[in-house]
Amino acid sequence: MKRPEKCSIRRTIDRLSRGVHFQLAGEIDAHDTPPMEASIREWIHRHGGSVVIDIRDVRYQSSAFIKMLVRFHMESRQREADLVLITNAFQDRLLRIFSLDRLFLAVKTREEAASLLRDCRCASHDRPPLGITA
The answer to whether residue 97 sits within a structural domain is yes
pLDDT of residue 4: 44
pLDDT of residue 122: 56
pLDDT of residue 100: 93
The answer to whether residue 1 sits within a structural domain is no
The answer to whether residue 134 sits within a structural domain is no
- Tell me the pLDDT tens digit for each residue of 81-113: 899 999 999 999 999 998 999 999 999 998 898
- With 70 as the cut, is the pLDDT of residue 114 above it? yes
DSSP state of 107: E
- With 60 as the cut, is the pLDDT of residue 127 above it? no
The answer to whether residue 37 sits within a structural domain is yes
pLDDT of residue 18: 66
Helix %, strand %, coil % of the chain (to 5): 40, 30, 30
How far is C-alpha 70 from the geometric centre of its chain's CA atoms?
9
DSSP state of 126: G
The answer to whether residue 84 sits within a structural domain is yes
Provide DSSP, 48-98.
Answer: -SEEEEEEEEEEEE-HHHHHHHHHHHHHHHHHT--EEEE--HHHHHHHHHT
Any idea what the CATH number is for the domain that residue 80 is in? 3.30.750.24
Nearest to 43 by CA among 53, 32, 33: 53
The answer to whether residue 2 sits within a structural domain is no
pLDDT of residue 20: 85
50: confidence class by pLDDT, cuts 50, 70, 90 = confident
Contact status, residue 77 vs residue 125, Cβ threshold 8 Å:
yes
Q: What is the number of domains present in the chain?
A: 1
- With 90 as the cut, is the pLDDT of residue 7 above it? no
Q: Can you give the residue range of the structural domain that contains 11? A: 7-126
The answer to whether residue 101 sits within a structural domain is yes
pLDDT of residue 9: 67
Give me the count of residues in the chain. 134
